[in-house]
Amino acid sequence: MDFCPGFDIRPDETGLSFSYGPDVFGSMAERRHLDDIRMSLLDPACKGPDVPYVVAMDVGKVRDRSDLVARNLLYGAMTYAAGTLGREPVRSQGHIHAVSASCGMSTPEVYEIWEGEAIVLMQETAHEDPGRCLAVRGGAGDVIIVPPGWAHYTVNADPTRRMSFGAWCVRDYGFDYAEIRSRGGLAYFPLIDGEGHVTWVANERYAPHGITDVAPHVYVELGLEAGVPIYAQYERDHGRFDFVARPRLAQEVWAAFRP
């Protein structure tokens, strides 16, 4: 991998699973099939990898497991295949984090890119007027945060190679797809142009105000450190990511959020 996540986890050679070191617990990777996400794509009949991406939820160091459970905090790992889905790069279908029973509101997610290049497309709502639409591009070691309630999907921005990342989320996570599926996806579709670059085309079922391409910043307002794996930051201070499971702790940050 291009960036060490701070514990012994690696995508296998096929990219369809993960291997774990002796001090690491982890689950069998769940495969997401193309047929599962077709209705959120620009061309639902497109061809592409049968398994665009895999997800292993609840991974980490064995010694931390009881603390993670107590904090209602979960670490997940994802790998996206190389290639395209028709004219689009490989990506997820998009969702909003459902209201978690543990905190009574939608929760944020903290991404860390391990290898390849990713774009997280996020918009404030899935209503006809989606509000701000941001395309946040990150490479190995970059951190990208999706705030509570925002609709989003993740793109493998380099179709020539796989892309992997880890993420902190709440343990009682859930996904709300209803409004996004009713509009055939999010407000913009990513397209691969003739030079292999990602461009954007608007979804006609929305009335967006434009899309802004941005780079992630260091989230010092949330106490995060640049260049330090987010798992290592948790190890240094077990309470550092409590805002993920208890988003009201960072209410002022969400109100004035910038990626």
Q: Which residues pair with 169 in a beta bridge?
A: 74
Residues 6 or more apart in contact with residue 56 via CB below 8 angstroms = 17, 18, 26, 27, 28, 29, 30, 76, 77, 78
Please tell me the predicted confidence (pLDDT) of residue 50. 97
151-199 pLDDT, tens per residue? 999 999 999 999 999 999 999 999 999 999 999 999 999 999 989 999 9
**CATH number, span 9-255:** 2.60.120.10
Alpha-carbon dihedral angle through residues 83, 89, 92, 95, given to the nearest 10 degrees: 180
Q: Which two tokens stand for residue 170?
A: 């709440």
pLDDT of the residue at 259? 87
**191: β partners:** 199
CA distance 197 to 192: 5
Amino acid identity at 248:
R
- Measured CA to CA, the distance from residue 191 to residue 29 in angstroms comes to 28
pLDDT at 258: 87
What is the model's pLDDT at position 166? 98
Low-confidence residues of the chain: pLDDT under 50 = none
Q: Max Cα separation, the chain?
A: 51
* CB atoms inside a 10 Å sphere around CB 176: 16
Sign of the four-CA dihedral 182, 41, 94, 31: positive
- CA pair distance 163, 81, nearest whole angstrom: 7
Q: Give per-residue pLDDT as tens, 65-80.
A: 999 999 999 999 999 9
**Cα–Cα distance measured from residue 198 to residue 247, given in angstroms and rounded to the nearest whole number:** 32
Sign of torsion, CA 235 164 45 129? positive
**pLDDT value at position 16?**
86
Q: What does R_g of the chain's alpha carbons equal in angstroms?
A: 17
Entry pTM: 0.96
Domain ranges across the chain: 9-255
Query: What pLDDT does 95 receive?
Result: 97
Element (H, E) at 236: helix 230-236
Six-digit token string for 163: 């892309």
